Amino acid sequence: MGGQAVKLVLERVGHAFLGRAVLEDFDLALTDGEVVALIGPSGCGKTTILQIAAGLLDPLRGRVRRHYRRHAVVFQEPRLLPWLAARDNIAYGLRMNGIARDLRAAMVAQRAQDVGLSAHDLDKYPAELSGGMRQRVAVARALAVRPDMVYFDEPFTAVDVGLKRILQDLVIEAAAREQFSALFVTHDLSEAVRVAHRLVLLPRRADGTIVERAIAGEPGRRSERAIFALVEAWSADPAFRELFDGRESLH
């Protein structure tokens, strides 16, 4: 972990959709360079928290304080512009930030290399890329704006297991290299244990208890065996039971 400066604070945040409370009095603080995994069963409001933190959704109650320069979001779907080649998709965030065209090219090339895209792939349109490649482009687009806070919203749910690992390693590497803080929403406990410093488990119901656990070691330095053992141990933990009972929340 980097310094202890606080990057993001959510204070007593509450939200409801059509009168149904999904979130009540939720508090969260992220420090500099910290990666927090937000985990919970489906329908527990983890994506809502991410959207509120990223300013895509205004909370009904509570407040959000952001102490960072710039953020970026990696969504569950790649959300690429189908009419732009991969190169221009990666440059999209830079363009929105008003970076001149000739400066963008070098940044794009660098990011493409970081996420393992070849120069040849950069000229392809999203329709010509595989699912994994598209998500790589999405990650490159987010990293290209040099964010000091990145929001990941179940980014690797749709890719196969082997590729998932590669993409997770890519995120871990980038976080260590660029020292950004990140909120990583996932429903996969082993993914959370692999990428994060700390884990926040949301209950299914808004009035349930929130569980917080620190994960020993640095992301990327934990052995596969340690990750597996921790996931195994937590699977048996009653606090994590809701994550595995497979029921959708009852509305």
**SS3 call for 73:** strand
Smallest gap from Cβ 55 to another protein, in A, equals 8
Contact with another protein (CB under 8 A): which of 54, 91, 143, 201?
54
Q: Can residue 79 be called a binding residue for another protein (CB under 8 A)?
A: yes
Q: Which positions from 99 to 138 touch another protein by CB under 8 A, shown as an x/- string?
A: -------------------------xx-xx----------
Q: Can residue 146 be called a binding residue for another protein (CB under 8 A)?
A: no
Alpha-carbon distance of 42 to 247, in angstroms, equals: 9
Q: Can residue 68 be called a binding residue for another protein (CB under 8 A)?
A: no
Q: Quick check: 173 and 220 in contact, CB under 8 A?
A: yes
Smallest gap from Cβ 203 to another protein, in A, equals 26
Closest CA to 213 of 12, 36, 3: 36
Number of neighbours of residue 24 by Cβ within 10 angstroms: 17
Alpha-carbon distance of 213 to 235, in angstroms, equals: 13
Alpha-carbon distance of 218 to 199, in angstroms, equals: 13
Q: Quick check: 208 and 200 in contact, CB under 8 A?
A: no
Nearer to another protein among residue 127 and residue 214 (C-beta): 127
Nearer to another protein among residue 127 and residue 161 (C-beta): 127
Contacts of 205 (CB under 8 A, 6+ apart): 249
Closest CA to 76 of 124, 134, 162, 18: 134
Smallest gap from Cβ 79 to another protein, in A, equals 4
Smallest gap from Cβ 83 to another protein, in A, equals 4
Q: Which of residues 179-198 bind another protein (CB under 8 A)?
A: none
Smallest gap from Cβ 224 to another protein, in A, equals 33
Q: Which of residues 193-232 bind another protein (CB under 8 A)?
A: none
Closest CA to 199 of 173, 174, 166, 227: 227
Smallest gap from Cβ 50 to another protein, in A, equals 10
Residues that bind another protein (CB under 8 A): 54-56, 70-73, 75, 77, 79, 81-85, 92-93, 95-97, 124-125, 127-128, 145, 151
